[in-house]
Structure 1
Amino acid sequence: MTLKAGYPFWLIKDGLPFTYPKLDHDIDTEVVIIGAGISGALVRYYLINAGINCVTVDARTIGLGSTSASTSLLQYEIDVPLYKLTEMIGKEKAERAYKLCGEAIDKLGKITKDRGVKYFEKKKSLYYATFKKDVSWLKKEYEARKDVGFKVRYLEAYELEKEYGFKAYGAILSDQAAQTNAYMLTHCLLQHEYDNDIYDRTEITDIKHSKKGVVLKTESGYTLKAKKLVYATGYEVVDFIDKKIVDLLSTYAVVSEQYNERDFWKDDVLIWNTANPYLYLRTTPDNRVLVGGRDENFSNPAKRDKLINKKTKQLASDVNKLFPHLKFKPEFSWTGTFGSTKDGLPYIGPYDRLPNSYFALGFGGNGITFSLIAAEIITDLILGKPNKDLELFSFDR
């Protein structure tokens, strides 16, 4: 599946910072990870730190799948509001899911600090009501988040306009958020104790699961044998799972021309709204504004890609309506495919029909924090440790 099209800003800005070989020999290892995007990179990072030997393979050049198309917002909020998720799965589970995402942001910050990389900026997040009818449930959502312990503040319409310079019907301001560059973070994570154990341009054409382990074949005829296999293939998981777990959508993103001065909005907070599909904005370290949204149901790559020019104009107009002073001019635009689940939660852990396998599927708009949660859970499972959060994200939920 072609996961993205157009000119993703991160790929143009950072190019190919590291190169990796194509697999040209047989391998026998403890764990194989399929997928070297942000999910696979985080799983590998955790496994390596736990002393587990692993080999990572990717069908593409590293980072050229969904990761390069990521807009890289880090938020504890998932696509289903907390109050609504509570109604769906219960208060304890819903609050636990949100807390895990909040903790994941801090853990990602620590990882970047430990690795000595710069691709993490702590931010606040502003979630505003697009329509007047959204105010009642947005206030309900504010109370739910406050009860969990998140540092939040509700802004009435006049406060929002006074402090952030645009008109809406109200907003929740959250202290806990951040932004990153998922493409470069992925490469930096993969360099952690890199020992020629990562192979790109290595497509897996056959996988056989058994009680003894897993055997994989590449298109070039080489064999990988492992005790365990981790699927970190993202939205291409539909090729491996024989039941419907995700709806595929297409999202669009645009990055502005570079501004000479940073005159955006207060604190450069992450901004998103209650519309469906929602609009989201962030800034970049090099004085640009990134806007995304205008999602469509995914049918095929060609239909998705034809909409890039139209969506670019619409998203630019969206920014200029909010912040006319920016005079937003698009420079880079792209589209990517992502997945949405019924409860907004990812699928993590074993799948009974595929013995000795684990899945790290960080679906939704919060995929990066979900990927870290998946890395923690899967590492525990491979080490033979129980994990109390496994049930929350299981295929049987």
Structure 2
Amino acid sequence: MNTDSIWKEESGKCPVFAALEKDIETEVLIIGGGITGLTLATLLNDAGIHSVLAEASHIGNGTTGMSSCHLTTQIDTQYSKVYSDFGEEITAMVARSRAEGIDFIEQLIKNKSINCDFKRVAGYQYADKPEQIADLEAEYRYAGYIDLPVELTDNTDLPIPVIKALKFDNQAVFNAQAFINGLAENLVNSKCQIFENTRVTDIREDRGIFTVTANGTTVRALKVVMATHIPLFFNVLQTLAFPYISYVIAATIEGNTPENLYWDMDEPYHYIRSTEFNGKKYLIVGGADHKVGHEEETSERFKELESYARKKFNVKSVDFKWSAEFYESADGLPFIGESPFSKNLFVATGFAGDGLVYGPLAALIINDLIQGKTNKNYDAYDSTRITIAASMADFFKENIDNVRSFVADKFGNVSEETPDNLEPGQGKILNLNGEKVAVAKDANGEVHAVSPVCTHLKCNVHYNNAEQTWDCPCHGSRFSIDGSVVYGPAVDPLEKKEIVAISENKK
């Protein structure tokens, strides 16, 4: 079964960009080649501002290309909670800005002539259990308070029992990978220079100039934007945005696939949509979220989604499965704008499962900040805000959880097995000659051994058997089994360990 997203075939259609190999100067350095970074690069280019975009891997190789590719005005954090925590003005701003964000994406697609299967559809948040109706009706009331156009109905086109649903008109679906490919194509030979396989490993600011190290070269910039899901290195926002992972499957079913967007009220919730790939219709089902590094048998989450799909649809086959990482903020809204450490360093994090809308919104806001303009939606997402009442409970819960993981991993027991006992695809923290070593065996039977200590803030990584990665439970850094960085905030690989002699001594 394919473990890439159904959209990833599009990644081969993206222009290929060289790695940075010599020192360079620019007005704005953008770190990250996902939807946030490429949208911002497009806006800056259209304004005549020179930028450099540095992508550690390949364009769209992160969460953007591994999403479910739907765009909604509804948010992961319910509007009733946002209203309670922030009041009517901010809640209305969030709803309005998300609708404007979808409109902006649609207009950008038209202006740049990007073929990415953008289509307007309806969205339904539905209750299929009696105990969920009160919360659904509350969401309907709060949507009314902020003039968000919704309709309470008991009719959907789902072939499954639904008690009541909240209908959101004018939502959208698209192919996010094809979208950012199109943005990248439009930036070829422009005022934006894009570099792939270019990992930033150090940032220093002195007298208004940033000196950034990437691939052993130096980038000098007046402003830097971390379009990286979570700021790299250490940043206080890492204590206010928490890493989660979500799972998706694509299945063929008997009968027609539903045409709109649907999400239930379970915790964590499930969502449903459809798409066409190579002439076949697929049902997309996602959910089963959990905190990064807190589940080792992650492959069970795919089984959970398949079971959920089979209970509701006549599934013929599950042909694709994939997962993606995202960050939930402590108070439920993203942090977009200036870094707490510098007025010329910009961040965008805490998008939760709404990054395809919040990414372009972040680009619009940061583009205005860079040009010294006022953005009408900035107050809702101000990255320097302090929201004690809204965030304190989650702040303590998540960070105490990090401390607990740190202590448990440092002093907990480890396996006394030998690397030879591992099955292909399996990984464990082993005690080898009195030292903890993260050992994994790939599909070809080759053994890889690295330090289990995350290079970000020294938490111990945990094995993810579905993706065959080492994941940090504290701040979400992920590493391949050879120790190389998959996602930050870590920028340095896990230290490699030698185990040949150890294996021979155990024989």
By the TM > 0.5 criterion, same fold? yes
Which among 118, 133, 136 is matched to residue 134 of structure 2?
A: 136
Q: Tell me by how many angstroms 1:328 deviates.
A: 4.5
The equivalent of 1:270 in structure 2 is 261
Write the mapping of 1:207-286 to structure 2, written as runs, cut at 5 A: 207-219=203-215, 221-235=216-230, 237=231, 239-243=233-237, 244-257=239-252, 263-265=256-258, 268-286=259-277
Q: Tell me by how many angstroms 1:164 deviates.
A: 3.1
Q: Tell me by how many angstroms 1:276 deviates.
A: 1.1
Q: Secondary structure at the match of 2:339?
A: coil
Q: Tell me by how many angstroms 1:321 deviates.
A: 1.9
- The aligned amino acid for 1:320 is R
Write the mapping of 1:1-397 to structure 2, written as runs, cut at 5 A: 6-12=3-9, 14-119=11-116, 120-156=118-154, 159-160=155-156, 163-195=157-189, 197-219=193-215, 221-235=216-230, 237=231, 239-243=233-237, 244-257=239-252, 263-265=256-258, 268-286=259-277, 287-299=281-293, 303=295, 306-308=297-299, 310-324=300-314, 327-361=315-349, 363-397=351-385
Q: Secondary structure at the match of 2:340?
A: coil
Q: Tell me by how many angstroms 1:139 deviates.
A: 1.0
- The aligned amino acid for 1:37 is G
2: CA distance, partners of 1:211 / 1:274? 51
- The aligned amino acid for 1:153 is E
Matched-pair contact (CA < 8 Å) for 1:213–1:356? no
Q: Tell me by how many angstroms 1:374 deviates.
A: 0.9
- Aligned Cα root-mean-square deviation (Å): 2.0
Residue deviations 1:185-243, cap 9 Å, x none?
11111222322700010111110023412110113x211011100110114x2634134
- The aligned amino acid for 2:337 is G
Residue deviations 1:153-186, cap 9 Å, x none?
2113xx34xx433113311011021111111211
Matched-pair contact (CA < 8 Å) for 2:29–2:221? yes
Residue deviations 1:244-285, cap 9 Å, x none?
12111111111124x6x97123xx110101111110111113
Q: Tell me by how many angstroms 1:384 deviates.
A: 1.1
Q: Tell me by how many angstroms 1:362 deviates.
A: 5.5
Matched-pair contact (CA < 8 Å) for 1:39–1:362? no
Q: Which runs of 4+ in 1 moved over 6 A?
A: none
Q: Tell me by how many angstroms 1:147 deviates.
A: 4.0
2: CA distance, partners of 1:279 / 1:52? 41
Residue deviations 1:352-389, cap 9 Å, x none?
31341111226111111111111111111111112233
Once structures 1 and 2 are overlaid, which stretch shifts more, 188-197 or 283-292?
188-197
Matched-pair contact (CA < 8 Å) for 1:124–1:178? yes
Once structures 1 and 2 are overlaid, which stretch shifts more, 288-297 or 241-250?
241-250
1: CA distance, partners of 2:358 / 2:213? 29
Q: Secondary structure at the match of 1:197?
A: strand
Number of aligned residue pairs: 377
Larger radius of gyration: 2
Q: Secondary structure at the match of 1:29?
A: strand
2: CA distance, partners of 1:41 / 1:295? 27
Once structures 1 and 2 are overlaid, which stretch shifts more, 337-346 or 99-108?
337-346
Per the normalisation by structure 2, the TM-score is 0.71
Q: Secondary structure at the match of 1:282?
A: strand
Q: Secondary structure at the match of 1:317?
A: helix
1: CA distance, partners of 2:103 / 2:298? 36
Q: Secondary structure at the match of 1:71?
A: coil
- The aligned amino acid for 1:25 is K
Q: Tell me by how many angstroms 1:13 deviates.
A: 5.5
Q: Secondary structure at the match of 1:250?
A: strand
- The aligned amino acid for 1:41 is L
Gaps of 5+ in 1: none
Residue deviations 1:39-85, cap 9 Å, x none?
11111111111221111001112211112211111011111111221
1: CA distance, partners of 2:324 / 2:233? 18
**1:43 to 1:385, Cα distance in 2 relative to 1, 3 A:** same
Q: Secondary structure at the match of 1:365?
A: helix
2: CA distance, partners of 1:360 / 1:187? 21
2: CA distance, partners of 1:179 / 1:241? 33
Once structures 1 and 2 are overlaid, which stretch shifts more, 119-128 or 141-150?
141-150
**1:288 to 1:82, Cα distance in 2 relative to 1, 3 A:** same
2: CA distance, partners of 1:15 / 1:280? 27
Q: When you count helix as a share of all residues, which structure comes out higher?
A: 1
Q: Tell me by how many angstroms 1:6 deviates.
A: 3.0
Per the normalisation by structure 1, the TM-score is 0.89
